[in-house]
């Protein structure tokens, strides 16, 4: 039986003493942090699962030929192409015009060229330049298409439907002379020529959700024409002109969906381009960390989705236009009915819990009582901790604090004060271990010449465990106060990265708690506070050289890693360090601390 090593004791040599509690605890923390940051570095997102595809068919995108996917069927033909052309009245507009639809949440600019969206501006959110955020990214949309364009399986027909000028009819509130239309209202785009007849109606109300109805026929036969959101959304500021000065992290994109009440998502790199999936989608969405465009079909059982995956070459160093170019993902989708008559709702806005939990997909009985869009906020496998943490922070912000930075600080103080009894218990346990360490070493000395494979090693472990029990020592008593802050580190990270309310949330000198500290003040404070905490914490038996290495290496490791992560995360860790340092100062002044330092001094002298 292998020897049972006490993680709180040094256990290296007969004269080692009990200083291993600090070393083993620090190594335990280092191991957890390496796993945490290594996971974020290598994967950066929750591990994607396989995209659902019970019935897959390869779709030909208008801009490029179809590419066969393993297991995919042949290219899907458009419906109603067999009959010869039939003369139809020409319905079109003579001039290109725009119409701006506005409510308290958005300002949407529509063009009658293709009946598509040119701008989708969210009034309550701003980009990094301080302007209202436009969900339509100009560079990507110019290349790959605008929202509410139509997608067919014939490139020539698709190009025609998205380039012609539609006649516009407005129902409800009429537009002003400047082309401003206040919601609620409806806009209908109509085009007909050469046997093709297209009607697209868009309904606007006071929410982030719009309704879209499209019907395309050719020679009286329906054509499968899907509604597109083709080219990403949200921040995507790295796609702008050369010399970008923002964060070097590219905006991540995801494809998310719900089928029969089961929600899932896929990172952009794993999404197939031009792939048709016919499934009972309750919703399908493209999204980034903070914003989403989610389609909710009116009839999930007749829904088909085409995933659109393109790329744009960007500089590997976004602030240096001359650096090496690498592809950046641009994700989109097209969705509609297999019958060619599409009715759906479209949510385009922030991934805020209060917004998404009120939007439901169509359920089995045809009512909007299906799954909500709240699952688009993906806190990962520790949602059971991250969501309560988010709710606590939001409650503090909404009930007095008014600032997310102060909410992080106050919640960290509360968590650490709740752990104060366990820290006192840890101190007592460490003191007991120091007192009995000579007895532990004496037991080990009796077995020092026995090989590790010798069965008598089990007798040594039994004697040590009996000694711990007799002296009332908990060999794992030191772990909990150090483990809990590490466990909370991951939920804090997910909340800071995926909560739109924390996007551009400021605190004192920090302009954005979801981005790294631009002044490096917090990483420096983390290094300093960790160093002094370790310096004043007694660690008898640890060689001075090793103690100095631990005192410098661990703080530098943590400070360097948190240098590149959200400043809100660094604020949490720094606040915890300050509390730990304060607690250790008071512990050192107690009779327990004084005895621990006296034991440490005697053993270090030996």
Confidence at residue 444, expressed as pLDDT on a 0 to 100 scale: 79
Most confident of 161-165, 557-561, 596-600: 161-165
pLDDT tens digits, one per residue of 395-424 = 999 998 889 999 999 999 988 888 777 777
CA distance 588 to 237: 51
Distances (CA, A) of 430 to 230, 379, 436, 539, 551: 61, 36, 10, 10, 19
Count CB atoms within 10 A of the CB of residue 387.
Answer: 17
Residue 268 bridge partners (DSSP): none
pLDDT tens digits, one per residue of 94-138 = 999 999 999 999 999 999 999 999 999 999 998 887 889 999 988
For tokens 């139509």, the residue is: 150
Confidence at residue 295, expressed as pLDDT on a 0 to 100 scale: 96
Most confident of 14-23, 111-120, 477-486, 538-547: 111-120
Range in 58-72, 178-192, 569-583 the model is least confident about: 58-72
Domain 87-377 belongs to what architecture?
A: Distorted Sandwich (2.70)
- List, in sequence order, the alpha helices (H) in 399-515: 404-418, 420-446, 457-471, 480-498
Mean pLDDT on 440-469: 78
Confidence at residue 319, expressed as pLDDT on a 0 to 100 scale: 66
pLDDT tens digits, one per residue of 152-167 = 999 999 999 999 999 9
For tokens 């621990």, the residue is: 596
Q: Note the pTM of the prediction, 2 decimals.
A: 0.77
| Stretch(es) of the chain classified as CATH 2.70.98.90 | 87-377
pLDDT tens digits, one per residue of 304-314 = 999 999 988 87
- Contact, 311 vs 236, CB < 8 A? no
Using a 10 angstrom Cβ sphere, with 0-12 exposed, 13-18 middle and 19 or more buried, the burial of residue 465 is middle
Q: Order across the sheet with 56-58: list the strands.
A: 56-58, 275-278, 303-315, 325-337, 226-229, 150-151
Confidence at residue 14, expressed as pLDDT on a 0 to 100 scale: 34
Q: Which residue, 420, 461, 452, 475, is CA-closest to 587?
A: 420
pLDDT tens digits, one per residue of 427-448 = 777 777 777 777 877 887 887 7
Residues in the chain: 606
Q: Which residue, 52, 63, 47, 71, is CA-closest to 274?
A: 63
* pLDDT, mean over the chain: 79
CA-only gyration radius of the chain, Å: 31
Mean pLDDT on 301-329: 82
DSSP of 553-578: HHHHHHHHHHTTS-HHHHHHHHHHHH
Mean pLDDT on 470-485: 66
Using 50, 70 and 90 to split pLDDT, how confident is the model at 604?
low
């Amino acid at each position: 039986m292998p020897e049972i090593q006490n993680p709180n004791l040094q256990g290296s040599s007969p004269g080692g003493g009990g200083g291993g509690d600090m070393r083993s605890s620090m190594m335990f923390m280092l191991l957890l942090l390496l796993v945490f940051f290594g996971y974020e570095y290598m994967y950066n997102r929750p591990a994607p699962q396989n995209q659902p595809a019970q019935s897959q068919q390869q779709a030909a995108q208008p801009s490029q030929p179809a590419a066969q996917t393993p297991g995919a069927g042949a290219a899907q033909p458009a419906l109603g192409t067999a009959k010869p052309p039939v003369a139809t009245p020409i319905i079109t507009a003579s001039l290109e015009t725009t119409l701006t639809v506005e409510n308290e949440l958005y300002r949407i600019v529509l063009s009658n060229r293709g009946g598509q969206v040119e701008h989708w501006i969210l009034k309550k959110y701003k980009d990094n330049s301080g302007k209202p955020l436009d969900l339509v990214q100009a560079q990507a949309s110019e290349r790959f298409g605008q929202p509410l364009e139509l997608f067919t399986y014939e490139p020539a027909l698709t190009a025609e439907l998205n380039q012609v000028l539609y006649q516009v009819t407005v129902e409800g509130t009429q537009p002003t002379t400047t082309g401003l239309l206040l919601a609620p209202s409806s806009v209908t785009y109509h085009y007909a020529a050469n046997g093709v007849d297209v009607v697209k109606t868009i309904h606007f109300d006071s929410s982030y959700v719009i309704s879209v109805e499209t019907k395309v026929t050719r020679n009286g036969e329906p054509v499968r024409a899907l509604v597109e959101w083709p080219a990403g959304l949200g921040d995507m500021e790295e796609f702008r002109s050369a010399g970008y000065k923002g964060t070097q992290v590219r905006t991540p994109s995801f494809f998310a969906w719900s089928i029969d009440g089961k929600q899932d998502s896929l990172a952009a790199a794993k999404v197939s381009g031009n792939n048709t999936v016919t499934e009972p989608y309750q919703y399908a969405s493209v999204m980034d960390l903070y914003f989403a465009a989610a389609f909710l079909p009116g009839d999930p059982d007749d829904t088909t989705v085409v995933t659109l995956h393109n790329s744009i070459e960007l500089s590997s160093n976004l602030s240096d236009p001359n650096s090496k170019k690498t592809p950046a993902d641009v994700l989109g989708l097209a969705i509609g009915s297999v019958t060619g008559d599409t009715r759906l709702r479209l949510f385009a806005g922030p991934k805020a819990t209060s917004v998404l939990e009120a939007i439901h997909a169509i359920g089995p009985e045809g009512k909007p009582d299906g799954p909500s869009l709240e699952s688009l906020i993906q806190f990962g496998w520790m949602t059971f901790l991250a969501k309560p943490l988010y709710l606590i922070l939001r409650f503090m912000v909404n009930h007095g604090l008014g600032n997310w930075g102060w909410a992080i600080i106050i919640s960290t103080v509360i968590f650490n004060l709740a752990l104060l009894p366990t820290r006192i218990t840890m101190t007592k346990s460490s003191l007991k271990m120091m007192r009995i360490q000579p007895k532990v070493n004496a037991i080990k000395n009796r077995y020092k010449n026995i090989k590790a494979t010798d069965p008598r090693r089990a007798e040594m472990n039994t004697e040590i465990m009996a000694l711990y029990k007799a002296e009332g020592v908990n060999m794992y008593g030191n772990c909990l106060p150090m483990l809990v802050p590490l466990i909370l580190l991951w939920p804090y990270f997910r909340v800071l990265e995926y909560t739109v309310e924390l996007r551009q949330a400021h605190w004192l000198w920090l302009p954005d708690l979801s981005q790294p500290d631009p002044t490096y003040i917090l990483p420096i404070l983390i290094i300093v506070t960790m160093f002094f905490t370790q310096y004043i914490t007694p660690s008898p038996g640890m060689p001075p050289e090793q103690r100095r290495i631990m005192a410098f290496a661990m703080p530098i490791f943590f400070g360097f890693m948190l240098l590149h992560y959200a400043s809100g995360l660094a604020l949490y860790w720094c606040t915890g360090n300050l509390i730990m340092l304060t607690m250790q100062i008071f512990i050192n002044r107690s009779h327990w601390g004084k005895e621990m330092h006296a034991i440490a001094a005697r053993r270090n002298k030996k």
